[in-house]
Amino acid sequence: MKRFFPIFISFSLLLLFVGTLIAAVHLPAPTINISPDVYYPLDEILYIEGVSRPNSAVQIQLTKQGARPVRFTVRSDVNGEWVLAERVPLTAGDWEVRARLLHTKDSASAWSNPRVFKAIVSGVTIGGINIKFAFLSFLLVVLLTLGIATFWYFSWKVKRLNARLLTKEIREAKDSVREGLRELRRDLLDELGILESSGKKLSADERVRKEHILREIDTLGRNMEKEIQDIEEKL
């Protein structure tokens, strides 16, 4: 009798395994009734609805080529209806959603027919904060405008400063030229006064040359004043 007991245990386990396998094979796959055509991860909640056996665990799987699968487990109600409503941070692209009924930890029904939807990412997530591309574009335009305005302002300030410095230098040059011409005229008149005080009379040619030199000095002074004034007006 003891010899047949292990055989009985093994046979019972085999029957249990075969029964579980048959039950899993005959489990009806859930049906997906509602899924989005387009999903915006930063703006919406992913809503998927379907029907399965009442009071059962339903596994939902989202797959995309090149991405890791995303899985959720929900329970159907007494009418067999189940719902997935989650904010899921999916990457952009075409995603395929399937569902299957979980029988035990190691057995499940076949996957349901796939439903495909497109995920469109309209921004980026930084530090848990969703930032839209439209806002980033607006911010970029604002920063660019501020940058141009700042560059123009500092360029204007530099031009104003250069103009002031140049005006100061011109004013100083004008004063220096005017003072130099006055000194030259004064020295020439002093020299002529010394000659006249010594009793030496100037000849007619010397007097003509004296008057000519004085006129040239006056003309040179006026021309210098005009040139400096023209430069100031252009600034």
Position 31 pLDDT exceeds 70? yes
Q: What type of residue sits at position 106?
A: D
Q: How many domains does the chain fold into? A: 2
Domain assignment present for 61: yes
Whether residue 52 is contained in a domain is answered as yes
Q: Is residue 218 part of a domain?
A: yes
Mean pLDDT confidence for 95-101: 95
**What confidence tier does 124 reach under pLDDT thresholds 50, 70, 90?**
low
Rounded to 10 deg, the angle between the 204-234 and 133-197 helix axes is 170
* The predicted structure's pLDDT at residue 15: 47
Domain presence at residue 13: no
Does 117 share its domain with 171?
no
Taking only the tens place, the pLDDT of each residue in 163-208 is: 777 777 777 777 777 777 777 767 776 666 665 666 666 667 767 7
173/187 Cα distance (integer angstroms): 21
3 state DSSP class of 54: coil
Q: Is the pLDDT of residue 1 over 50?
A: no
Q: In the listed set 96, 121, 146, which residue is the last one of a domain according to the structure?
A: 121
Taking the CB of residue 181, how many other CB atoms lie within 10 A of it?
A: 17
Q: CA of 135: how far to CAs of 99, 111, 225, in Å?
A: 37, 41, 59
Q: What is the 3-state composition of the chain as percent helix, strand, coil, each rounded to the nearest 5?
A: 50, 25, 25
CATH number, residue 77: 2.60.40.1930
97: pLDDT confidence band, cut at 50, 70 and 90?
very high
Domain range enclosing 217: 158-234
The whole model's pTM is what?
Answer: 0.50
Task: Count other C-beta atoms under 10 Å from residue 53's C-beta.
Answer: 16
Q: Tell me whether residue 142 is in a domain.
A: no
Mean of per-residue pLDDT scores for the chain? 77
Cα–Cα separations (whole angstroms), residue 39 to 19, 43, 47, 155, 161: 41, 8, 9, 49, 58
Last residue of a domain, one of 98, 121, 144: 121
* Sheet of 81-86, strand order: 31-34, 46-51, 81-86
Per-residue pLDDT at 234 = 60
**Which phi and psi angles does 163 have, rounded to 5°?**
-65, -40
pLDDT band at 144 (very low <50, low <70, confident <90, very high): confident
Last residue of a domain, one of 99, 121, 143: 121
Q: What pLDDT is recorded for position 127?
A: 61
Asked whether residue 6 is assigned to any structural domain, the reply reads no
In a domain? residue 197:
yes
On the question of pLDDT at 99 being above 50, the answer is: yes
pLDDT for the residue numbered 114 = 93
Task: Give the pair of three-digit tokens for residue 210.
Answer: 């004296």
Residues 51 and 117 in one domain: yes
